Amino acid sequence: MVLKYQSLISSMTLEEKIRLTSGKDNWRTVEMKHLEIPKITVSDGPHGLRHQEEGQDHLGINDSNPATCFPLACLTAASFDEDLLHEMGKAIGYEALCQNVQVVLGPGVNIKRNPLCGRNFEYFSEDPCLSSRLATAWIRGVQSMGVGTSLKHFAMNNQESNRMKSDSLADRKTMHDIYLKAFEGPVKAAKPYTVMASYNLIDGIYACEHPYLLGDVLRKRFGFEGVLVTDWGAMNDKVKSLQAGLDLEMPGGAVYFDEEVKEAIRTEKMDVMVLDQSVDRILELIFRTRNSREEMLSEYGPLDKESVDREKHHELARRVARESMVLLKNEEGILPLKKENKARILVTGVLAEKPRYQGAGSSHINPYKVTSLLEGLDGRHIPYKYYQGYALTDGVPDEGLQEEILSAIEEDDIILVAAGLPDEYESEGFDRAHMRLPKQQDDLILKLTKRSRKVVVLLYAGAPVEMPWADSVSAIFNLYLPGQAGGEAAVDLLFGEYSPSGKLPETIPFRYEDHATSEIFGVDNYEVEYREGIYVGYRYFDKAEKEVLFPFGHGLSYTSFQYQDLSLSRKEIRMEEEDEVIVSFRLRNTGPVEGKETAQLYLERVNQEGYVVKKSLKGFRKISLKPGEERNIEIRLRTEDFCEYDLNLEKEVLYEGGYRIHIGSSSRDLRLMAEINSIGIHPDKEPVPEYYRKPVEKPSRRDFERLKGTWVGKKQSGKPYTVDDTLYEMKDALQMRIVMRILKRVLTGATGVKDENDSAYKVVYSMFMHTPIKRLSLLSPDKMPKYLGESIVHIANGEFLKAAKKMREKK
């Protein structure tokens, strides 16, 4: 094995090499001045930098340098615009350059398996094609500035509850066709400098030490050559991780793990070349980013935190939000509103004044400024009257607040309702309890529809919500979490300065119970059964022939588009050839205003039998057309776009037969169709349960076990506790009460908040409660000593004498 930095590595001691594989602190690698190895800095930031300099808040919740808060992935995915994501990534890369950050930790491409995942706002879509294409563009944008990225979280990380110990169980077809596919494209096409391994287990093995996923899939099949880094505090066994292909532990684990690596090499349980290879990759990252920074500085000149053109980046954030917001409903053309219209505009909802523009957790940005909906209206000199309408809580509806707006309504008034989820509903660290808005918001909207025929709802939420009022309101605008310029972007669209062009990157069902995973998500947070298999999002609703409130890919415009003249560049495709099919069609703007349309291409296998989806997204193009303008559109498909994972052959194959190519405006608005023959293997009758042939009902555990070919047993936790257990698992032990009281005092001080309902506190509290003691020292303030963690375990087990002995030994 040839190492690029062999000479430098040979000059390092074993201790130095091991030390380089652990972070210096939360955000920096180890510096070794005597070897001329500089440190590099990493920063959270899928939608903007959350850069913490040395000496700032260790926990990473409250204190970070100001930066542009761009729209979140839940919204940018709705743009279906790769060029836009590239431009946004480039701006984030520039800000990283200005703050001397070498790696931005993002993007997140985990599939939205269930709408209640607390971190869905940080991820793109329920669809791997869309997630993959947009992530690729974003990575290329950031890395064009000489700044690295960290594609995350690899893999099967689709919930927040018990994320440190949950075991994701899925069949291989589901893993490869859905969850790993979102990572494959960016790794191959964009070559991110790093990939971040997730907290959870996969089939009983931690993601950070999974030989098949890290070695066989990521390193060999996907060809990843960069640094594989743990999620923060995700290390479980460093020897196994290094042997599986992982390189860098963050934020650093000298307490538990580094000595274990030294001992494994001393006893020849691990070859020192495994360590050397990881060190080589880390050195390549360090020197590559440092050299890239020097090249960029020679082009852009000296840069510091004040070099960012804040107004320019604010305007970009506004444009990204504007291109992404989704008009879900527009009855009788109530939108766009006319500035000269004499009808009064009444605005209600506290979110119009204090918008929820980002999520809680590690991606929380300290923005330069934030504009609300009210400020957007004020900036355009649009007259309105504002009424709070509700309190942003779960409490009993405030009749006084509701009556204030209800009594003010006159017959022709237009009501703009800003509704959405409070911070404490969705966050990193925990999942949502349900898919509903706070009850008082639903109550208010329903009451408003009885007083007015012109109610427009603007939704602020990082994921779908139930809409019991959807049939009664005139229009619904889904703003998701729109970043710092969301208020201005919304007003731009409401008043027709631009035509909406966002498309839903996920399905919105009528009710949560309609979802394929509604009966199993969050029920067992130890063994997480992916019983639904490949039927994720629209793939389930299509195959089950279920009606939905708003389908994947849906989004209205102020104009209309005509599709015609579909043609294919070839009549068949073969597995053994590097074939490419050029799909051509014409798109015409048949409406009154300029607008953008996202044409979507779906593949459907002909003569479907067995374990196969009805159709899947394989390409898209977003096109701007003036009224009456017509253009020829091309979307290219490669052989691999037609391939699927075969459970029997355990590899991706092209099946014999043929495919239908559908072109349309959404997954359920398909306008054109053509067929192409495929020359490949004959599909065997896969031995799968009936549910996976036709998913009408919900799958049972027995169905899942037969599909997966293994028995699924329920894990138990309890005494005797070990350092692999969590505070959450120990909290009910009688003797732990004083420990829990002390923990709450420590965390309120560390987060700088006093209210335990504050989202910042809830994030950190959840993180601490669900982190195994063995790894808690990595995340705790001032690094909790090893002896203290072991003492807590003894206390939970009622072994007070052992705990006291540990404390005496330390003294």
Q: Which residues are catalytic?
A: 231
Cα radius of gyration rounded to whole Å, the chain: 27
**Nearest alpha-carbon partner for 117 in 438, 462, 436, 393:** 462
> What is d(CA 240, CA 208) in angstroms, rounded to the nearest whole number?
9
Interacting residues of 581 by C-beta distance below 8 A, sequence separation 6+: 568, 569, 570, 573, 636, 637, 638, 676
Asked if 434 and 512 touch (Cβ cutoff 8 Å), the reply is yes
**Nearest alpha-carbon partner for 355 in 468, 484, 443:** 484
Helix axes 759-769, 737-751, angle to 10 degrees: 140
> What is d(CA 212, CA 225) in angstroms, rounded to the nearest whole number?
16
> What is d(CA 692, CA 711) in angstroms, rounded to the nearest whole number?
18
Asked if 681 and 642 touch (Cβ cutoff 8 Å), the reply is no
> What SS3 class is residue 621?
strand
Asked if 621 and 544 touch (Cβ cutoff 8 Å), the reply is no
> What is d(CA 579, CA 355) in angstroms, rounded to the nearest whole number?
49
> What is d(CA 88, CA 100) in angstroms, rounded to the nearest whole number?
18
Structure tokens at 721: 């506790």
**Nearest alpha-carbon partner for 616 in 636, 641, 652:** 641
**Nearest alpha-carbon partner for 329 in 161, 512, 151, 470:** 470
Q: For strand 561-568 and strand 595-605, is the pairing parallel, antiparallel, or unpaired?
A: unpaired
**Nearest alpha-carbon partner for 748 in 768, 733, 736, 764:** 764
Distances (CA, A) of 172 to 91, 176, 212, 650: 38, 6, 11, 8
DSSP 8-state symbol, 430: B
- φ, ψ of residue 66 to 5 degrees: the values are -60, 145
Q: Alpha carbon 202 to chain centroid distance?
A: 19
Asked if 661 and 583 touch (Cβ cutoff 8 Å), the reply is yes
The answer to whether the peptide bond before residue 687 is cis (omega within 30 degrees of 0) is: no
Write down the number of H helices and E strands in the chain: 24, 25
Q: Kind and range of the H or E element at 346?
A: strand 345-348
Structure tokens at 208: 């950070």
Structure tokens at 405: 């707006």
Q: Work out the widest C-alpha separation in the chain, in whole angstroms.
A: 84
- Burial code (b: 16+ CB inside 10 Å, e: under 16) for 207-226 equals bbbbeebbbebbbebbebeb
Q: Give one DSSP letter per residue of 668-689, joined into a string.
A: TEEEEEEEEEEESBPPP-----
